[in-house]
C-alpha cells in the first residue's frame, strides 16, 4: 500500500506548528512515500485582515514557502516525493494570482471558507448560513472547479 498525505499545514497558517522539514522527517519515519504540503495560501493583506484569516502572507509565500519547498523537494527526492501546494479560496478577482500560484506549485486545494453575499464576505461556519447561502457556496465551488486550476 502506498502511504500518502496531500493536505498538510505548517506553522505559516497560524493554527499548526512545525516546519516542512519536520513534517518530511516524520513522514519518512512513518513510511510515507508522498507528502503534499498545502498550507493556506495568501490572499491580499487587506482581505486577510478583513476576514481575520489565519494564513501566510504574500511575502511569506514568495520569500519563505516557495524557496523552502523547492529546496527540500530536491534535497529529499531520494527518500520521499514532496509535492508543493496551497489551500486557497476562489474569488474571481484573484484568478490571476491563483493561476500564477498553480504554475509555481504541483497542485491547489480548494478550501472555500467564505462566500460573497451582497458584496460582503460570509463564513461558511456562520450560524446564519442558510439554504440561499448554500446555493452561492455550490455555485462558487463549481465555478472554481470549472477553471481547471
pLDDT tens for each residue of 104-146: 999 999 999 999 999 899 999 989 999 999 999 999 999 999 9
pLDDT tens for each residue of 24-51: 999 999 999 999 999 999 987 777 677 7
Tell me the CB-side half-sphere exposure of residue 30, using CA atoms within 13 A: 13
Predicted TM-score of the model (pTM): 0.90
C-alpha cell at 64: 519563505
| CA end-to-end distance (rounded Å), the chain | 29
Amino acid at each position: 500500500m502506498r502511504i500518502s498525505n496531500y493536505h498538510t499545514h505548517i506553522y505559516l497558517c497560524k493554527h499548526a506548528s512545525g516546519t516542512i522539514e519536520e513534517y518530511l522527517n516524520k513522514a519518512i519515519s512513518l513510511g510515507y512515500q508522498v507528502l503534499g504540503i498545502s498550507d493556506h495560501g495568501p490572499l491580499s493583506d487587506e482581505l486577510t485582515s478583513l476576514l481575520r484569516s489565519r494564513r501566510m502572507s504574500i511575502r511569506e509565500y514568495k520569500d519563505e514557502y516557495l524557496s523552502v519547498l523547492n529546496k527540500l523537494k530536491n534535497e529529499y527526492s531520494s527518500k520521499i516525493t514532496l509535492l508543493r501546494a496551497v489551500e486557497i479560496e476562489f474569488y474571481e478577482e484573484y484568478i490571476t494570482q491563483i493561476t500564477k500560484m498553480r504554475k509555481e506549485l504541483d497542485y491547489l486545494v480548494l478550501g472555500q471558507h467564505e462566500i460573497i453575499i451582497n458584496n460582503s464576505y460570509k463564513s461558511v461556519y456562520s450560524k446564519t448560513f442558510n439554504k440561499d447561502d448554500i446555493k452561492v457556496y455550490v455555485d462558487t465551488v463549481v465555478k472554481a472547479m470549472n477553471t481547471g486550476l
